[in-house]
Chain A
């Protein structure tokens, strides 16, 4: 039922008329928190369009607002948060929907997979109860039906011996298994959209690859829209159709995965790519780390927020804030920078970019 070898590009050609329809339309979404230090401007003016069957990768370093963005779209906000802008889901504005209406949305329309499956799962409940809980809440199922559904879900997320696992507690399983359980819970009510907030950061590489493969397969299978949040560009490179790079709460670069990697335009994206150690590098190659840290979200600098760490910064960058504008050569490639990385520099980056497979073959 799941074809793992299909190319994600294939689904751009919608077989099902529902595929490709705009599911999520976020316009100028801003989120701030009141804190005793002042207003934390965690997300500013983010606009996103997401179609069914597509994956958007959201990338940025810690504190760049990735999780806040995902939660703002879902409406999972703490009491000290204020959101402005618009979030349309399936044509319905949900930004100011009352909590009761949102509860109906969560699970059935959209669901979330969290970074740390141990804290997101209830340690004192058996796996079966945790899965059927949401089934009972949203669907009118008998006990037996719920059990069968739970069994089928575990099978679909690739858990061997699902009947035995249903009776286990979270702590009796490995991190990878727990994350599969989390995914099964998220999928229980057949959501149209899945938020995966760093679903593999707590896992090691081999398990990470398994979980990402699984998410991708399920997403294709169910024609879900997916937002995949991560701090590792490598994770989203082959798995997302589109990529948004966030810095200090804003999107600084947004394009299709192919376009973004073919021609990196924003200095921050370039710096992120350069800082990843690559297999092809000789041992002890000095990494090009991005010096310093992101700005304080309570007291944002004027001008470009990346200026303090940007190798290309000029006076204008410190005075004026750049807008997110289409690249002159490719209107679908959005960049927030006055002096984008040159085509030549970008090509040089490509030369050093890993060409995996070749090396292993």
Chain B
């Protein structure tokens, strides 16, 4: 060291301040985001922003006929993205539809993340009867085909329309709960795997030796290391939920008209494939681009938060 340290070690050691030379040279510092990440972020920002601000944006009424039926997109004098079979503005319908699709996807994955993530943490950390029971539970849930599970959950939650005095949850809530429950075992399994490997590290043993309780170890030592994997899988899960919502809509399980989601737009657009395919392709493109963006960002985030554990 060139500068004399003002303090001296009580043991008379030379103080080491600067990190190990090798430590910094091998560790590649974080680079800027690539163009693809920025495109993904831009797309998601536009989607989320327009969905959030749909009511204040100068959009046509998504449920009223405003143009000739099946008006083709990008023609002067009409809606920029054209009009559907009822003459409704496609742009406005895509944005309003996206709003519901995104709400369903985000909320259902948050349900899955909180419940599944928490159970996964417990299952990975307590490798005793509790862990075994949880793992068994996840396995059983994962063994049921997810579409079947989602459909049956929807039909149970929706209540019976023929019994008006029975309980009736709004369909959006039903979809959120159904997709959320389906995602619980998936998110739990991934969280558990990551927790398992981190909680076997010596620093966890060291924390126990210092008298740290289970809660402190789980939330201070383990969770921060597991969180990046959970976050990236959350984005991936949202992408899947958006697609899954579309799938359910095609099977006829979705919001009632005139409300729409990307899923219902795809479902109704199917019949226009011959005359006006854009009515189908526009919502498909919205789903596709959003899912790809989420997926890609999930990967980028995982890589960036993948801590360099050491210089060694």
Contacts and interface: CB of A to CB of B under 8 A. Distances in A.
A37 interface: yes
A293 B20 contact: yes
A297 B21 contact: yes
A292 interface: yes
Nearest to A295: B21
Contacts of A36: 28-29
Interface residues of B, number: 13
B24 A291 contact: no
B29 A296 contact: no
A296 B21 CA distance: 5
A155 interface: no
A295 B16 CA distance: 12
Contact of A291 (B14, B22, B28): B14
Contacts of A37: 24-25, 29
A49 interface: no
Given A291-B14, A292-B14, A293-B16, A298 B28 contact: no
Nearest to A300: B21
Contacts of A40: 25
Sort chain A's interface into a size bin.
Answer: 10 to 19
Contacts of A142: none
A35 B14 contact: no
B34 to A, nearest CB: 16
A36 B24 CA distance: 9
A21 to B, nearest CB: 37
A33 B14 contact: no
Given A291-B14, A292-B14, A298 B25 contact: yes
B21 A293 contact: yes
A297 B14 contact: no
Contacts of B312: 62
Given A63-B20, A293-B20, A295-B21, 12 more contacts: A33-B25, A35-B25, A36-B28, A40-B25, A62-B312, A63-B21, A292-B1, A292-B14, A293-B16, A296-B18, A296-B21, A298-B21
25 contacts: A33-B25, A35-B25, A35-B28, A36-B28, A37-B24, A37-B25, A40-B25, A62-B22, A63-B20, A63-B21, A63-B22, A291-B13, A291-B14, A292-B16, A293-B20, A294-B21, A295-B21, A296-B18, A296-B21, A296-B25, A297-B21, A297-B22, A297-B25, A298-B21, A298-B24
Interface of B: 1, 13-14, 16, 18, 20-22, 24-25, 28-29, 312
Q: Which 4 A-B pairs have the closest CB atoms?
A: A296-B21, A63-B22, A40-B25, A36-B29
